[in-house]
Structures are given as C-alpha cells and as structure tokens.
C-alpha cells in the first residue's frame, strides 16, 4: 500500500483550503497513493471566536464533507481528512476526522478525545475545551486490506490510546496534527517514533506548518514512521507539500514478533 501525507498551511477561508488540499490530494493519487491523509483542521484555522462560528458548519451543511467524499470517489482512493471543525450544538464544535472510501462513503469518523488545554508560557495558552467537546471512543477503520487507527494531534501524548488501538487490530495509526513550534521542536519526532515502536504500527503524521492567516505558527515536519521506529519519509520544513511511502504489512508482523510489548497487559500494585 502506498500512503501519502499532505502537509498544509490552512487559513481562514474553508473554500480556499479545500482547493489547496484537493490539488495536493490529486497529486498524491497520481503518484500512486491509495491512502492519503491530510492534517488536523484541514478546512479552517481561525482563532477569532466570532469569525470561527461564522465559518463552521454542521456536518449536514458542510460543503467540505461532501466535496472530499466526492474527491475520494473520483480518484478511487481512501481519503482521511485529518480533521474538520464541525458544529454540533450552539457555539460547540467537534474536532472530527473523516475517512472516505474509494466509493465516497464515510467509512469512519473520530472525535478528538484529548483536548489541548495547556499553558506553554510566553503567551502561548490554548484551551480547546472552550470550543470543542471531547470524543469518548477509540475508532478504527478497515482500509485497503488493513486496519487504520484514528487519533488527532494532542492524543499523541497518551500512550494508552495507542495501545488500545493496536490491541483492537490497528496496523496503521494516523496522527494528523497542528503542533505548536515549542512542542513540535521538542517532542514531535520523539513521540511519533515512540508510538510506532510501542505498538509495532506504521504511523502517518500529516501536519500543518508555518505562519497561518490567523497568526498562529505550526511546526510542520510531516512524517511516516515504520513499526520498528524508522523514519520512512519526512518533510524537513513547514511548507505545503506531500510525503509518501510504501507500507509493507509484513513489517508489522516482524516487529511485533520481536517485541510483543503492545500485546501485554500488566497489573501493578501500589508502592
């Protein structure tokens, strides 16, 4: 299976973001990718609350959902839209991944479980829970003869979710992201490789990168990691683009046979 990660620099106009993403997705498919993944917040990065609520739509009314579904069908690929902001109640949203099959159907959707409520200092304070409702369910999807586990960005720091996905059969785990620069520089590659090693899975990590229209700056450096922790493909920059790699499912069996830590359940007693 050839997998591709799309790196973007999404702005405040969903229609423009759709056009950019679509062009990159088409290029990846033309290069032979049958599984293409885009980053977190593919459709909109908007920090101003009023402008955000003016732009965000319900799933039923969001033209991007219909548009990406149609694109997957026209290209005959499996398309993971890393996430879209979708309205689920009055001034409440979900940070939601969508997986569209080669026939355009919605194979799976996943709401981000771990919301990014942090204070990094120097004015970098984030509180996703002020806008988003957290998901409560781990999700896998059958894609192209393999099982794909879904996570989003800050989920990366919670190893228990990745163990649960692997134990549910996930062979590939997606980590679409919009990492901050301080956390990206310090932790992005380390955490991606750790999650791959711990689970013996391929990791697909399409990222946002660069300075966005709303003023935020994201880390970029999209990455595909093998089940032994090897970096198979990486963007060494923040610019929009594509990385891709051929995934051999036999590598998963080999890695897990050597170190089957993902499959162990250990109970601890108190100190």
Question: Measured between alpha carbons, how far is 113 from 4 in angstroms, rounded to an integer?
Answer: 24
Given the structure tokens 């689920």, which residue do they identify? 88
Question: Measured between alpha carbons, how far is 214 from 103 in angstroms, rounded to an integer?
Answer: 35
Alpha helix ranges (H) inside the chain: 14-30, 49-55, 63-75, 159-167, 181-199, 250-258
Tens of pLDDT, residue by residue, the chain (271 residues)? 999 999 999 999 999 999 999 999 999 999 999 999 999 999 999 999 999 999 999 999 999 999 999 999 999 999 999 999 999 999 999 999 999 999 999 999 999 999 987 766 666 666 798 899 999 999 999 998 999 999 999 999 999 999 999 999 999 999 999 999 999 999 999 999 999 999 999 999 999 999 999 999 999 999 999 999 999 999 999 999 999 999 999 999 999 998 877 676 655 565 6
Active-site residue numbers?
Answer: 40, 112, 153
Strand-pairing partners, residue 245, are: 3
Q: Does domain 2-262 have CATH number 1.10.3720.10?
A: no
């Amino acid at each position: 299976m050839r997998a591709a990660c799309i790196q973007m620099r999404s702005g405040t106009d969903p229609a423009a973001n759709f056009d950019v993403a679509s062009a990159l997705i088409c290029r990846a498919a033309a290069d032979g990718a049958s599984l293409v993944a885009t980053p977190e917040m593919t459709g909109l990065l908007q920090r101003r609350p009023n402008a955000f609520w003016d732009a965000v739509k319900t799933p039923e009314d969001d033209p991007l959902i219909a548009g990406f579904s149609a694109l997957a069908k026209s290209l005959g690929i499996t398309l993971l839209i890393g996430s879209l902001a979708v309205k689920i109640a009055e001034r409440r949203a979900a940070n939601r991944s969508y997986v569209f099959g080669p026939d355009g159907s919605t194979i799976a959707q996943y709401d981000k479980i771990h919301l990014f409520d942090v204070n990094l200092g120097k004015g970098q304070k984030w509180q996703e829970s002020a806008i988003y409702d957290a998901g409560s369910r781990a999700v896998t999807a059958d894609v192209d003869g393999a099982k794909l586990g879904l996570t989003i960005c800050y989920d990366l720091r919670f190893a228990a979710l990745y163990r649960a996905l692997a134990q549910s059969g996930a062979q590939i785990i997606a980590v679409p992201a919009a990492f901050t620069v301080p956390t990206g520089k310090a932790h992005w590659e380390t955490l991606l490789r750790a999650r791959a090693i711990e689970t013996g899975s391929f990791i697909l990590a399409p990222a946002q990168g660069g300075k966005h229209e709303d003023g935020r700056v994201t880390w970029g450096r999209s990455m595909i990691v093998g089940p032994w922790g090897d970096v198979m493909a990486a963007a060494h920059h923040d610019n929009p683009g594509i990385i891709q790699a051929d995934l051999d499912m036999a590598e998963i069996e080999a890695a897990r046979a050597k170190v089957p830590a993902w499959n162990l359940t250990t109970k601890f007693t108190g100190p």
